[in-house]
Structure 1
Amino acid sequence: MTPEELQAARDHVIPDVVAGGLSVLFCGINPSLMSGATGHHFARPGNRFWPVLHLSGFTPRQLKPWEQGELLTYGLGITNVVARATARADELTPDEFHEGGRVLTAKVEHLRPRFLAVVGITAYRTAFDRKAVIGPQDRTIGETRIWALPNPSGLNAHWTARTMADEYAKLRLAAESESQG
């Protein structure tokens, strides 16, 4: 993909991968330019979402971004706090995050997943104006429990794929135990 093609994807919106009653709805910060250009979530080559999803046991194999629709067969989905594609998340305004939090809340109330997993603790804090730590949050949206996870962006050097997968696996185990309980 050329730099011009990527820049042309600025502000594109890509469709959510969602259905009612999901086990986990993963929520990114916003689409990258690569995602905007391809129409696939977490499409940037350095993004670790797809490997981490597999390493954590959510999927039986590592999916490619263009296979995102298969997530629905596992009871999983993807949305974003802010829908528009940018080169970097720091291009988003606090107002966009707050509005995104309102839109996300309405989406969760409508779809009613068992868990909302926000991948990026800063996105969670800004969108919902709440303190947060990695892991389960004390807030719910209706009956949907909220979980904050590390941002899988390749820019997030504080976390390795393995340490992220360990955190994602905690959510998977909670979702599995809740579905059996």
Structure 2
Amino acid sequence: MTPQELQAARDRIVPDVIAGGLSVLFCGINPGLMSAATGHHFARPGNRFWPVLHRSGFTPRQLKPSEQDELLLHGLGITNVVARASARADELTAEEFREGGRLLALKVERLRPRWLAVAGVTAYRTAFDEPKARTGPQDRMMGDTRIWVLPNPSGLNAHWTLETMAEEFARLRAAAQEGSPGGS
């Protein structure tokens, strides 16, 4: 992909991979330029979402971004807090995050996944005015949907290794497999 093709993808929207009643709806911060150019979520080669999803047991094999629709077969989906693509998440404004959070809440109310998994604690804090939120399950709910904040799988997030990230995703997978939104 040329730099010109990537720049042409700025501000594009990548369609959600969604359905009603999912076990987990993963939520990225916003699409990167590679995702916008290809139309596939988490498409940048250094992004660890797909390897972590497999290592944590959510998928039986590592899917490629171009196979994202297969997630629906596993009761999984993908959306974003902010729909528009940018080169970096720090190009987004707090207002965009808050509006994205409002629209995300409406989407979750309509689709009713068991869990909403927001990949990025800073995005979650800003979008939902939860400045003290930490990675893991949250007290806040959206209707009957529980919320789990995951580490951002971007290669820029050096605080989390592939292994520690897979462990956190696996904690969510175990909670999602418990069957009910309340964890009983």
Unaligned 5+ segments in structure 2 are: none
In 2, the alpha carbon distance for the partners of 1:134 and 1:178 equals 21
Give matches, 1:35-54, under 5 Å: 35-54=35-54
- Amino acid of the structure 2 residue aligned with 1:155: L
In 1, the alpha carbon distance for the partners of 2:50 and 2:91 equals 24
In the TM superposition, residue 178 of structure 1 has moved relative to its aligned partner by 2.2
* Aligned equivalent of 2:162: 161
* Aligned equivalent of 1:143: 144
Which ranges of 4 or more aligned residues in structure 1 deviate by more than 4 Å? none
- Amino acid of the structure 2 residue aligned with 1:127: A
Q: Count residues with an aligned counterpart.
A: 181
TM-score, length-scaled by structure 2 = 0.97
Cα deviations across residues 61-116 of structure 1 (Å, max 9, x unaligned)?
Answer: 00000000000000000000000000000000011000000000000000000000
In 1, the alpha carbon distance for the partners of 2:178 and 2:106 equals 26
In 1, the alpha carbon distance for the partners of 2:18 and 2:163 equals 27
In 1, the alpha carbon distance for the partners of 2:12 and 2:153 equals 21
* Aligned equivalent of 1:13: 13
SS at match of 2:179: helix
Cα deviations across residues 37-58 of structure 1 (Å, max 9, x unaligned)?
Answer: 0000000000000000000000
Give matches, 1:21-170, under 5 Å: 21-130=21-130, 131-170=132-171
In 1, the alpha carbon distance for the partners of 2:91 and 2:134 equals 23
In 2, the alpha carbon distance for the partners of 1:139 and 1:42 equals 26
SS at match of 2:155: coil
Give me the identity figure in percent: 77
In 2, the alpha carbon distance for the partners of 1:60 and 1:124 equals 28
